[in-house]
Structure 1
Amino acid sequence: MRKIIVGILFFNIAICFSQSKSSYIQADYFYGNIIAHNPDAYAFLQGHPTGFFISYNKRSYGEEAWQERYNYPDFGYSIGYQDYHSEILGKLYSVYGHYNFYFFNREAKNQLIFRAGIGLAYNTNPYDKETNNKNTAFGSSLNSSTYFKLYFQREHLLSNLGVNAGLTFVHASNSNIKSPNSGVNIWAFTLGLNYDLTPEDQ
């Protein structure tokens, strides 16, 4: 399942590369906390979640009317990896489609950006009545996931290379398709690099 999800993502990214000459990639590391939103969550709070996101972002230029209205957001794809540092929860592999919304002029080197992403996630250690009955968060391996990221980004700090840092919120659950399904919410600090793929003559 993980190979299929990642394969679909990279196929779509390849299409984007072939269609756009104005794009950039990001690689972010995060460190955070699980939000204990119900009493059962304390059973699997064993450590601080860590992980990373790798994303491809395609800039928009007003091809559609709504893009200008929302300050020319980026569209892109992300792959994510989360290690909950919990024997009960296991790990989470995820893929997303996302939009980046700019608070200020997109052409500036210093940016404040809000990202919203939605996609699918695969959990490595879901609930099992006999072997993992404390995992009330994930009743199945396949889950839906959303993530939100508010971050500062500096572009072209060193040639095409830039940096970004901010806060991320990630939710994963199976939308109550199979019980138990309390889901997991985390918030995290992120730090990463971004690289502009746009040719220098553009």
Structure 2
Amino acid sequence: MNSLTKNDKTHRGMAGNIMQMAFLICMLLLLHPSDALSQSGRRHVNTGSNIMVEAKAGYGFLIPHRLEMEIFNSHFPSFEISISKQTFGGSRWEYMYAYPIIGLAYWYSNLGTSPYLGDAHAIYPYINFPITPPKSVRLYFRAGIGLGYLTKRFDRLDNYKNTAIGSHLNAAVSASLELRARIVNRLYFTGSIALTHFSNGSMKTPNYGINIPSIYAGVAYKLSKENAYTRSKLLPELYPYEFDGKKWFQVQFGAGLGYKNTDAEAGGSYMVYAMYANILKQVSFKSRLGFGLDVSYDGTDRMILETSSGEKLDSFIPIVKTGGNLAWELMISRVSFVLNIGGYFSGQYKTEGGIYEKFAIRYYFNQSIYTSITLKAHYARADYITFGLGYNLNIKYY
């Protein structure tokens, strides 16, 4: 019992450290994309801070996407406060995305006062992308990712009915469709339909995840006079990492590692290793499209095969999975979001199915080297998270 307790504490500590690292990277990626272009010589003068404070209240429910989660099927309120900034075109990416709003939000809900789930807290940076033209009423799409904390988690003895989450610290993801209407001068009404998601990426099982659709209403107040450049439509000069009109493509190589937890009979935490290569073509100012190849090793596959067969494997080769995929990369200055959808070529153990998805957030240190956080899933169910480095080789063929 003591060894189990010690291992459990070790796993929780590892998960906590990784989640905190992921949160810090996400803060860097989403709150400082314009700083990444500070090497450029020309910057607009910031004649106004464009800082806003926002508060909103919502009402939603938890989706019982598993039979065991029916006991959590209740309706409950949630609340959010945030500080945000209206971009004004100081960097080219701001113009390209129609002057989005960037901010940092704190979110809270009692999750229906569930004795098994407890309360939920989240803090995350976000970007609010305009969809419609700038008028007194405007539609936005908002996306954010950060750190979530649940006051109660699964415990085999004390909280065995909480089959949703096995850890206190989790990734928190928010996506919403938001309407903003100017009431007077610097005061705005906001209304939105949102989905909030908590998951630890299988770092600690169980990890069915928590999905909360909600509707919100609130107000936003701009603390100072609007920056004049918000209304400017001048196109700034070209910067690195963005489309320059030439014919070229990228060959990307990368590797990452992570770990995942399993609740199988011989459960525990196991390392995951992944390598990949992508070939992408610039198809617009914002995105690249192409295909990729993956090679991965999941330690839980070996454990399950050895447990089911009753004998040790002589080689790791049967465990290695190879796959091919379609790849799409969306670029925002030095930050990019990468989506891969593909299927496996080989691998002896594929109980999750032959189709997989990958979603990655990258930060480019320069035109060649980047770091990334990648979530791998099967049929939209999270499998594991890896942290890695990559190299981007630009090849011009014009």
Q: TM-score, normalised by structure 1?
A: 0.84
Q: Distance in 1 between matches of 2:110 and 2:90?
A: 39
- Does the alignment pair 1:23 with 2:51? yes
174, 183, 186: which is aligned to 1:160?
Answer: 186
66, 80, 96: which is aligned to 1:38?
Answer: 66
- Which residue is equivalent to 1:96? 124
Q: Distance in 2 between matches of 1:200 and 1:150?
A: 24
SS in 1 for 2:75: coil
CA 1:71–1:95 in structure 2 vs 1: closer, same or farther (change >3 Å)?
Answer: same
Q: Is the 8 A contact 2:78 2:108 kept in 1?
A: yes
Q: Is the 8 A contact 1:44 1:134 kept in 2?
A: no
Q: Is the 8 A contact 1:44 1:135 kept in 2?
A: no
- Which residue is equivalent to 1:177? 203
CA 1:149–1:200 in structure 2 vs 1: closer, same or farther (change >3 Å)?
Answer: closer
Question: CA shift at 1:24, angstroms?
Answer: 1.2
Percent identical across equivalent pairs? 32
Question: CA shift at 1:49, angstroms?
Answer: 2.7
Q: Distance in 2 between matches of 1:187 and 1:167?
A: 7
Question: CA shift at 1:158, angstroms?
Answer: 3.5
SS in 2 for 1:63: coil
- Which residue is equivalent to 1:75? 102
Q: Which runs of 5+ in 2 are unaligned?
A: 1-15, 33-45, 229-398
Structure-to-structure mapping, 1:1-202, within 5 angstroms? 21-45=49-73, 47-85=74-112, 86-106=114-134, 108-155=135-182, 157-199=183-225
Q: Is the 8 A contact 1:171 1:186 kept in 2?
A: yes
Q: Distance in 2 between matches of 1:123 and 1:48?
A: 17
- Which residue is equivalent to 2:391? none
Q: Distance in 2 between matches of 1:121 and 1:188?
A: 17
Q: Which runs of 5+ in 1 are unaligned?
A: none
Q: Distance in 2 between matches of 1:201 and 1:42?
A: 49
CA 1:149–1:87 in structure 2 vs 1: closer, same or farther (change >3 Å)?
Answer: same
**Greater Cα radius of gyration, structure 1 or 2:** 2
SS in 1 for 2:162: coil
Question: CA shift at 1:199, angstroms?
Answer: 2.7
**Deviation by residue 1:141-174 (Cα, 9 ceiling, x = unmatched):** 000010011121112x144322111211000011
What is the RMSD of the two structures over their aligned residues, measured on CA atoms? 2.5
Q: Distance in 2 between matches of 1:158 and 1:63?
A: 26
Q: Distance in 1 between matches of 2:153 and 2:122?
A: 15
Q: Is the 8 A contact 1:84 1:90 kept in 2?
A: yes
Question: CA shift at 1:200, angstroms?
Answer: 6.9
SS in 2 for 1:151: strand
**Deviation by residue 1:43-75 (Cα, 9 ceiling, x = unmatched):** 322x21311111111111222222211111111
Q: Between the two structures, name the one with larger relative contact order (CA 8 Å, sep ≥ 6).
A: 1
Amino acid at match of 1:51: S
Amino acid at match of 2:195: F
Q: Distance in 2 between matches of 1:177 and 1:105?
A: 42
Q: Distance in 1 between matches of 2:207 and 2:185?
A: 46
Amino acid at match of 1:175: G
Q: Distance in 1 between matches of 2:154 and 2:211?
A: 17
* Stretch moving more, 177-186 or 60-69: 60-69
